[in-house]
Amino acid sequence: MDSSKDEALREVGRAVVNFQRLELLLKALAKFQSRAGLISQLEQQLKIHNDRASRYTLGQAVGSWLRMLGEELLDKELPDAPSEPVLSIAFSLELEADTKEAHADALSRLLKERNDLIHGELIAMDWNSTEQCQNLIVRLESQNKRIGEQLEFLSTVLRDFLDLARVQKDVIESDDFLQFLAKPAPGEDA
């Protein structure tokens, strides 16, 4: 009985750590939500959003990520006659509809399983029951495998987004880009 209990507790620990890793990845991805606004206000808007995203629960992080997957690029309200330059920042992930749906279902299922586990199952568990411990071990091994699949996918997406952000930063800081911004718009006096 003790070995089953010990193994079950190890699987619980793995699941908790993997859910934390999933939450951290989703929080990092939430910072890539599309943004658009007056250049003087955008930095503050990004800071507020990033601060808020860093405090997301797993449920909020999953929701944010799934909204991002369904987001239309550049569908943000902008002023009709802006008094200063407007900057729009967007990162997009194109997925086939069935792939997106399977990914969303997998994350939603994992979220429900995590909430059930943390907010009920562990409290109701009879840790002295070999049968309950063995059932929990089987479920958590399967769950950890599915979390691992999501971690692998989301890690790849985050790496790609970070690479794109570095390229975007290099372009914005380049002399060519700064010279382009200094040129008058067509129809304006030089």
**Span 55-80, pLDDT tens digits:** 999 999 999 999 888 765 554 566 67
Q: How confident is the model at residue 36 (pLDDT cuts 50, 70, 90)?
A: confident
Q: Mean pLDDT throughout 20-42?
A: 88
| Cα–Cα distance for residue pair 29/150, rounded to 1 Å | 13
DSSP 8-state symbol, 176: H
The count of other CB atoms within 10 Å of the CB of residue 3 is 9
Estimate the share of the chain in helix, then strand, then coil, as percent rounded to the nearest 5: 70, 5, 25
Q: Is the pTM of this model over 0.95?
A: no
Average pLDDT in the 18-22 region?
A: 97
Q: Please list, residue by residue across 115-130, b when 16 or more beta carbons sit within 10 angstroms of its beta carbon and e when fewer do.
A: eebeeeeeeebeeeee
Quick: pLDDT tens for 103-153: 999 999 999 999 999 999 999 999 999 999 999 999 999 999 999 999 999
3-state secondary structure of 56: coil
At 78 the pLDDT is: 63
